Amino acid sequence: MRVNNVMLYTITRVVVFIILSFSIYLFFAGHHNPGGGFIGGLMTAAALLLLYLSFDLKTIKQIIPFNYTWMIAIGLLLSLGTGVASMLLGYPFLTQFFDYFDLPFLGETELATAVLFDVGIYLTVVGITLLSILTIGEDR
């Protein structure tokens, strides 16, 4: 018997878009408000996990060909690199630097090294979460 999952596929596409949008908002809001790389990464992992559950693993792996092991390594290197860079400049580990720049379309914008640290945390959380769940899910 073949199951018709049109409603599941349609709802998943809409909900994944909403979750990913909210995760991006949480990521950028985390610099001055609650949120950041950890919660944004968890929300992204939840959205991707919903895709894996709605569609089959093989289809999503073809569409999203990420190697989560490499994602974890890049995230850790980026997070640690921001801390080591401040030490190389003679400041304590993980010292944050920021300045304001005039960017096209955005105007005066604050750019901080904490965002790079959050990107590393984001990549690490997404990688660890999905690698753990998919490894358990593929085990038969």
> Is-above-0.75 flag for pTM?
yes
d(CA 140, CA 135): 10
No. of helices (H) and no. of strands (E), the chain: 5, 2
State residue 1's pLDDT score. 61
What is the mean pLDDT for each group of 10 consecutive residues in the chain (140 residues)?
Answer: 80 94 90 83 94 86 90 95 92 89 85 89 95 85
State residue 49's pLDDT score. 93
Structure tokens at 112: 């901080």
C-alpha of 63 from chain center: 17
Q: Are 31 and 96 in contact (CB under 8 A)?
A: no
State residue 55's pLDDT score. 86
Neighbouring C-beta atoms of residue 39, cutoff 10 Å: 19
Rounded to the nearest 5°, which phi and psi values hold at 139? -75, 125
